Amino acid sequence: MKSFFLGISIVILFLSDRPELRAEEPPSAVAKAAGSEISFRRDVWPIVRRHCRGCHTNTKLEGGLSMDSVADMLKGGDSGPLFDIQDPDSALLLNMIRGDQPEMPKGQPALSAAKIDVLRRWLEAGAKDDSLPGGDAPPVRIPETYRFAPAVTAVSVSPEGKRLAAACRSEVVLFLDVDAPETASLRLPTESDLLTHVEFSADGKLLAASGGSPGQYGELRIFNAADGKLLSSRRVGTDTLFRGNFSPDSTLVALGSASGEALLIPVDPAAAVRAIPLHSDWVFDVAFTPDGKQIVTGGRDKSTKIADVESGKLLRTVDESADQISAVAGNAEFAFSSGRGRTLTGFEFKIALQGVEVTGGGNGSRPITRRDQYAKALESQPGPVYDLATSFDRTRLAIAGDYGDVRIYDTTTRQRVALIPDVPSPIYAVSLNQDGTRAAIGSKSGIVNIYNVADATLIRSIHPVPVQKPVAAK
Ligand code: HEC
């Protein structure tokens, strides 16, 4: 297989190893628990994670219930706490899973007697919480100096083109002056195994970084873009989050998820996350229209969709491609998408959404226009595409992937305006400043290159993190 987007392939690796996807967990786990004292972390958590959290987590609260932590379980759902330590045997937690036709897990095979026994004994022993902060994920470790340069999985250049953020594995490196990178760079740690997205807000004030730990949690951190101060941090869902976009008004970040949902995560950590179910598989990227009213999404189910932000409704599936979609973008007239298939297509909103109800029950079920009426092919790319980026003013669109150049298009004429040659590839990330005159490009090699778009010249190469064996810069 050709080298494939590292972030995604690492995530695939971890996800295919997810315990809840395995047919049966090793019987030793349950057997071992039979003799010794029950541990929440070792014995109870794997059962909850595999059988319950598909429907009871903080982004999917069936019955109002999250089972993300012991505290959430004590709090319970619409009918109250899952258990009372004084009276473990009448716990709702147990009543729902035992009997001839247990109610939970809904629509799925009943839990084995051994597993029910584990839960019962844990309650009887006082429901002690020995979970580690961050669930059962190993703590993220950020080396002072890396042995080998970590791939740059995401980059963002600020609107005025002065600041740069690069995601290297679990940390974000923020350069306050990209023209003097030695003077002020800040290493901002996260709790993500792998960051998949970094982005400055359109007002230039905030920096978002997101990713997570596969099979454990998604994470979004918001930093002050002027000094790198951590403003908020939150965990969302049970898997790594994919890429997305700051809303134009800088109040929320929309991100793709492994659950097929586009997640709208407010910058204010006290405000609730909205999950919009759209795809049948992982959503790799989300982009807002310039007015913030719609989102464009694309993912592993090979489709490109447009949804209404306020109602959370799917407006239309504008494309079903033959290959997975890795990246989406948009301006006021067009949604753009690209991916493994190397094609770059623009979908004209006005025509694609003709006759689609935006406010009512519209779900795109009866489109009145055909694909060939609204889809406009741009130039095909030389290899699989990993990233698309628009300038903050949305006049330009950059595209990059598993090939050594970056092409930049005018979003109105859809003609190419620049080709930056000889970039170290594969390229995982590209970003443009306010008017698309400056580009930052992040490669697997671990280098970020800054270019002047007008004449496609390299301004400088930056190694974001200290490395024992640095690779030669381009
Ligand atoms: C496939 C989805 C699904 C799975 C898996 C699932 N549940 Fe549920 N659960 C629901 C839904 C939906 C409801 C809402 C009531 C209903 O529709 O029956 C619910 C309601 C509940 C409630 C009542 C909440 C309240 O306060 O009203 C409890 C308790 C519960 N589930 C426990 C569990 C436990 C324990 C597991 C794992 C062993 C589990 N569920 C797995 C879908 C699920």
Q: Is 56 in the pocket of ligand 1 (CB under 6 A)?
A: yes
Query: From the CA of 107, how far away is ligand 1's center (Å)?
Result: 10
Q: Are 172 and 140 in contact (CB under 8 A)?
A: no
Nearest CA to ligand 1 atom 21: 63
- The answer to whether residue 4 scores a pLDDT higher than 60 is no
pLDDT tens string 60-86: 789 999 998 898 999 999 999 999 989
Mutate to test the pocket of ligand 1, among 96, 112, 120, 259 (most ligand atoms within 8 A of CB): 96
| pLDDT for the residue numbered 57 | 83
- The answer to whether residue 307 scores a pLDDT higher than 60 is yes
Q: Is 55 in the pocket of ligand 1 (CB under 6 A)?
A: yes
Residue labelled with tokens 């791939």:
151
Q: How confident is the model at residue 256 (pLDDT cuts 50, 70, 90)?
A: very high
| pLDDT for the residue numbered 59 | 75
pLDDT tens string 149-180: 999 999 999 999 999 999 999 999 999 999 98
- The answer to whether residue 22 scores a pLDDT higher than 50 is no
Q: Which two tokens stand for residue 48?
A: 């909850």
Query: From the CA of 120, how far away is ligand 1's center (Å)?
Result: 18
pLDDT tens string 273-304: 999 999 999 999 999 999 999 999 999 999 99
Return d(Cα 130, Cα 45) in angstroms, integer.
10
Of the candidate ranges 38-47, 99-108, 205-214, the one whose mean pLDDT is the lowest: 38-47
Taking Cα atoms as reference points, which of 95, 143, 100 lies closest to residue 119? 95
| pLDDT for the residue numbered 357 | 67
| pLDDT for the residue numbered 402 | 96
Return d(Cα 282, Cα 9) in angstroms, integer.
13
- The answer to whether residue 113 scores a pLDDT higher than 70 is yes
Radius of gyration for the chain, computed over Cα atoms and rounded to the nearest angstrom:
23
- The answer to whether residue 139 scores a pLDDT higher than 80 is no
Is omega for the bond preceding 81 within 30 degrees of 0, making it cis?
no
Q: Is 307 in the pocket of ligand 1 (CB under 6 A)?
A: no
Query: From the CA of 49, how far away is ligand 1's center (Å)?
Result: 13
Residue labelled with tokens 């999985």:
153
Question: Could you give the percent of the chain with pLDDT greater than 70?
Answer: 88
Q: Is 333 in the pocket of ligand 1 (CB under 6 A)?
A: no
- Ranges for all domains in the chain classified under CATH 2.130.10.10: 152-462
One DSSP character per residue, 75-87 reads H-BTTB-S--TT-
Q: Is 109 in the pocket of ligand 1 (CB under 6 A)?
A: no
- The answer to whether residue 21 scores a pLDDT higher than 50 is no
- The answer to whether residue 34 scores a pLDDT higher than 60 is no
Fold entry, domain 152-462? Methylamine Dehydrogenase; Chain H (2.130.10)
| pLDDT for the residue numbered 60 | 79
Q: How confident is the model at residue 473 (pLDDT cuts 50, 70, 90)?
A: low
Q: Is 94 in the pocket of ligand 1 (CB under 6 A)?
A: no
Nearest CA to ligand 1 atom 16: 63
Check residues 398 and 69 and name the one with the higher pLDDT. 398
Return d(Cα 205, Cα 192) in angstroms, integer.
22
Q: Is 468 in the pocket of ligand 1 (CB under 6 A)?
A: no
Q: Give the mean pLDDT of the chain.
A: 88
Q: Is 105 in the pocket of ligand 1 (CB under 6 A)?
A: yes
pTM of the predicted protein model: 0.71
Looking at the DSSP bridge assignments, the partners of residue 307 are 295, 314
Q: Is 106 in the pocket of ligand 1 (CB under 6 A)?
A: yes
